[in-house]
Structure 1
Amino acid sequence: MSQQFLSSYSFANGLNVKNRIVMAPMTTMSSFYNGMVTTDEIDYYAKRAGGPGMIITGVANVSESGKGFEGELSVTSDAMIPGLKKLARAIKQEETKAILQIFHAGRKTNSKILHNEQPVSASSLKADYPADSELPKELTNEEVLQIIADFGEAARRAILAGFDGVELHGANTYLLQQFFSENANQRTDQWGGSRKKRLNFALAVIDSVKQAVQKYTEKPFLVGYRISPEEIETPGIRLEDSLYFVDQIKDKVDYIHLSMGSYKRTSLNDKTNKKTLLSQFAARTKGVTPLIGIGSVEVPEDANHVLHDGADFVAIGRELIREPKWVQKVESDDIASIRTSLSPLDMDELAIPAVMQVYLMESFKSVMHFTTDSDAIQTYDTSLAPMEGFEKKL
C-alpha cells in the first residue's frame, strides 16, 4: 500500500531525505559520566537506523553548566568528536540522515549533577516543578554571550563529526524556552522584558549556529528548532506566544519540530480553541519551512493523520523503541507484525541500553505500553506527557 509518509523530501538547502519519518530525540541516559558516547548508545541507534529518513539524537549539552541529567551526551569540547563520529556513522545507514540535538538545561538541573555548582537561568527564579527545584543564578550578560558562542561551537563539532544537521532544543522548559517565558525570564536588559526582547536569546543562538554552518561546511546542513506549544504555569507561554515565536524564526531555520505527547492535542489553556495545535502551527509554517508533527504515533494511520493535519514530517518516538523496523515493515506491507507494546524481556534483544531500561520502567512506565502493565494506557490528548518536561528527576 502506498503511504505518503514514505515519499522523499528535498529541503530548501538541497538536503534530500528518503522519507518523511523522523526518529524523535529520546533520552538514553547511557553516555559516560563526562558525556562521551558509549557502545551501548551506538548499538541502540544502529538498531533503529536505515528506516527513518532522519534520526535525531537525544540532547547533547553545549556548556558544562548546561548538563541536565546523568548519562547525557556532551558536545562541549573537541574531545567528544571521535565518539560523535562513531554515532553519526551508526545512524547514517541506507541514507538515513543524522541530526544532533543540542541544548542547555538552564534551571532544569541541580547542583548535584553540576558537581556542586548552582544551576543558571535567565533570571533567579525557581521552577514550579519538580518540587525540589533549586534556585538558579541569573546569567550575566557575558555568560549569556558565552552560551550563545557555545551553541555555535557545538554546531562546528557536529559538522566535523559528520552529522547532517543540528536541532536546537527550545522545548520542554530548557534554557532556550526559559528565556522566552515570563515564568523564568524577568530580566530588564536586552535579553528580557517585552515578548519581543525575550526572543533575542533564541535569535542570537540561531544566528551563532548558522554562522558556524556557513564557516565550516559547504554541504547542506540542517538547523532545526524544537518548540513546546504551551506552558501551564502562570505566568507562562501561551499558544499565541508560541505562534508569534514561530512567525519570527520560521524563515531562519530549516525546520520546526513540535514537542507534544499527542498529535491530537488542542490547547491546554484555552478550552474554547477546538483546533489541533498541529494544524494551527502548520498554518503558520506552510510554504515557508517544514513542520515536524509528533505525539503518540504508533501505526501508519496515525502517521497519515499527522500529514493530513498539515505537517511535512512525522516524528515517532516511543514506537521506534518498541519497533526498530517500523518503517521497513510498513514498506514491506507487514503491518500486522508491528509491535505496539513492549515486553520487558525483549529489551535486550531490541538493543535498549540497560540504564535506559531502568529509566523506561521507572519514569516512563505510564507511556511505554509494557505488556506487564495492567494500568490503562494514557493518551496525553489533554495533558502534558512526562517527556514534555514533567518527568521525575533521577
Structure 2
Amino acid sequence: MTVLNNTLTFRRGLTLKNRVIMSPMTTKMSFFDGVVTQDELNYYSLRSGEVGAVITAAANVQDGGKGWEGELSVASDKFIPSLSRLASTIKRNGTKAILQLFHAGRMTDSKVLRGVQPVSASAIAAERPDAETPRELTEDEIYHLIEDFKKATERAIKAGFDGVELHGANTYVIQQFFSPHSNRREDQWGGSLEKRFNFINQLVDGVISVVDNSNVQNFIIGYRFSPEEYEEPGIKMADTIYLVDKLADKELDYLHISLGDFKRVSVSEEYKEKSIMQYVHEKINGRLPLIGVGDVRTKEDAENTLANAELVAVGRSLIIDPHWTSKVLEGKEDTIRRVLADQDREELMIGNGMVEFLDFMMPERLR
C-alpha cells in the first residue's frame, strides 16, 4: 500500500483517512457579499469524499480584507449558515473541511472595497501594475484585526468545520507584516526580524487560545506560508527558516508551504544544496506535520513530495480530474484526465470566475 493511503492524526485528535489534501484555490464563486453559492457547493462536492481534507478558498475576516469579487467571507455571524452548508458539503465519506482565513491587506484596491483605501503594515504599495498605496494600520486597528481572526475562528467552529488555516502566504496581510518590503514600521510591529514576527506571534497565539478554550473536539489549526519574496528588500530563506522554527514550537497542528513546484530550489546562494521543502522539513524536525505542494500531477510526484512532508496538497490535478485521488490510490493512473478543455467546464463545475485563475495557473490547458 502506498504511503498516500496512510492515515494521519494531528495533535488535537483529528484523523485524516489519507495523506492527500485539496489545495486552497481561488474560485470566485461566492455572491457579491461573500455568501456561499450553490455553484460553489457543487464545485466542492464534486471534489470531496476521496481526499483526506479540503482546504477552502480564502475567506476574508473583515470587509476591508476582501481581495476580489466572488470571495468567501467569514466577517460576521450572518455568514455562518452558508458556511455550514459548505462544511457539510465537503464532509462526505470522511473528508475533513478546513476553512482558510485571510485578509488581503494591500493586495486589493478601492474598487473592490467600494471606495475604501486598502490597509497594510505600512503605506508601501505592492510591486505590481496599478497597485494602490495602502494606509498604515494603527496599533488599535492591528489588535482589532487579530480579534477579527479570532472571531472568524469561532464562526468556523460554529459552522461545523474541522479546522482553520491561517493564510500567511501569497503576499496577503499576514505575510505583509513579516515582509521587510511591506513592513517599514519602527514600533513593536516592525523593524527587526523579531518585531516583524510579532503580529504572527500574537495572531497564532490568539487563534490557539480560541480553539483550546472552546468545547470543540478534534478541531485543528494550520498556518500557510510563502518561503521567499523577489522584492528588495523581501523575505529570504533565512527569514523563513526563523519563521518555521518559531511556528513549529507552537501548538499548531500543521504548517503548509506555498510553492509552484515541490522541487523548487531557493534563490538564496546559501540554500541551494537542497530543495526549499527539504530545508523547511529538516528545520521542523518532526515537531508538527508539513503539507508539501507544487505541481503534483502523478502518484510519483505525490510520493516524492512526501519524502519531505507528511501530507501532500493537490490543486490543478483535482480541478482537471476530481477523482484524481481514488485513481491514484487504486492504481488507475492511466484513466486520469490530464488536460482541461473549455467544453469540460460544465461537467467539472468550473464557473466563469475561475477562468482567470486557470489561465494563470494552467497556461498549457486546452482552450
Pick the TM interval, shorter chain: over 0.9
AA in 1 matched with 2:116: E
**1:301 corresponds to which residue?**
300
3-state SS of 2:213 partner: helix
Contact 1:57 1:100 in 2 (8 A): yes
Normalized against structure 2, the TM-score is what?
0.97
3-state SS of 1:256 partner: strand
AA in 2 matched with 1:30: M
Separation in structure 1 between the aligned mates of residue 120 and residue 263 of structure 2, nearest angstrom: 32
**1:161 corresponds to which residue?**
159
The partner residue of 2:237 within 236, 239, 245 is 239
Which whole-Å deviations, capped at 9, do the CAs of 1:70-106 have from their partners, x for residues lacking one?
1100000000000000000010001101000000110
Matched, 1:73 2:72: yes
**1:316 corresponds to which residue?**
314
User: Aligned runs of 1:172-211 on 2, under 5 Å?
Assistant: 172-211=170-209
Shift of 1:344: 1.4
3-state SS of 2:148 partner: helix
**1:379 corresponds to which residue?**
none
3-state SS of 1:22 partner: strand
The partner residue of 1:346 within 325, 344, 347 is 344
Separation in structure 1 between the aligned mates of residue 362 and residue 212 of structure 2, nearest angstrom: 43
Unaligned runs of 5+ in 1: 373-394
AA in 2 matched with 1:352: I
**1:330 corresponds to which residue?**
328
Separation in structure 2 between the aligned mates of residue 38 and residue 271 of structure 1, nearest angstrom: 47
Contact 1:344 1:370 in 2 (8 A): no
**2:356 corresponds to which residue?**
359
Separation in structure 2 between the aligned mates of residue 158 and residue 217 of structure 1, nearest angstrom: 13
AA in 1 matched with 2:356: Y
3-state SS of 1:350 partner: coil
AA in 1 matched with 2:342: P
Shift of 1:152: 0.1
**2:121 corresponds to which residue?**
122
Contact 1:159 1:217 in 2 (8 A): no
Separation in structure 1 between the aligned mates of residue 210 and residue 199 of structure 2, nearest angstrom: 17
Contact 2:4 2:329 in 1 (8 A): no
- 1:365/1:298 CA distance change after superposition, 3 Å: closer
Separation in structure 1 between the aligned mates of residue 215 and residue 106 of structure 2, nearest angstrom: 33
Shift of 1:360: 3.9
3-state SS of 2:328 partner: helix
3-state SS of 1:60 partner: strand
Shift of 1:66: 0.6
Does 327-336 or 219-228 show the bigger shift? Answer: 327-336
Separation in structure 1 between the aligned mates of residue 312 and residue 245 of structure 2, nearest angstrom: 21
Contact 1:262 1:294 in 2 (8 A): yes
Shift of 1:241: 0.3
**1:111 corresponds to which residue?**
110
AA in 1 matched with 2:219: F
The partner residue of 1:249 within 247, 250, 262 is 247
Contact 1:297 1:316 in 2 (8 A): yes
Which whole-Å deviations, capped at 9, do the CAs of 1:45-83 have from their partners, x for residues lacking one?
000001110100000000111111111000000000000
Separation in structure 1 between the aligned mates of residue 201 and residue 64 of structure 2, nearest angstrom: 21
AA in 2 matched with 1:189: D
3-state SS of 2:167 partner: strand
3-state SS of 1:235 partner: coil
**2:84 corresponds to which residue?**
85
**1:24 corresponds to which residue?**
23
3-state SS of 2:255 partner: strand
Percent identical among aligned pairs is 48
Contact 1:23 1:320 in 2 (8 A): yes
Runs of 4+ in 1 over 6 A off after TM superposition: none
Tell me how large the CA RMSD over aligned residues is: 1.2
Contact 2:26 2:357 in 1 (8 A): no
Separation in structure 2 between the aligned mates of residue 360 and residue 139 of structure 1, nearest angstrom: 29
Shift of 1:362: 4.3
User: Aligned runs of 1:282-297 on 2, under 5 Å?
Assistant: 282-297=281-296
Contact 2:24 2:54 in 1 (8 A): yes
Shift of 1:361: 5.2
Shift of 1:144: 0.3
AA in 1 matched with 2:316: R
Separation in structure 2 between the aligned mates of residue 15 and residue 294 of structure 1, nearest angstrom: 21
Shift of 1:143: 0.4
3-state SS of 1:70 partner: coil
Separation in structure 1 between the aligned mates of residue 216 and residue 156 of structure 2, nearest angstrom: 14
The partner residue of 2:366 within 371, 375, 384 is 371
Contact 2:157 2:216 in 1 (8 A): no
AA in 2 matched with 1:116: G
Contact 2:62 2:148 in 1 (8 A): yes
**1:136 corresponds to which residue?**
134
Shift of 1:271: 7.7
Separation in structure 1 between the aligned mates of residue 115 and residue 343 of structure 2, nearest angstrom: 38
Which whole-Å deviations, capped at 9, do the CAs of 1:230-265 have from their partners, x for residues lacking one?
001110100010010010111221100000100010
Unaligned runs of 5+ in 2: none
Separation in structure 2 between the aligned mates of residue 361 and residue 290 of structure 1, nearest angstrom: 29
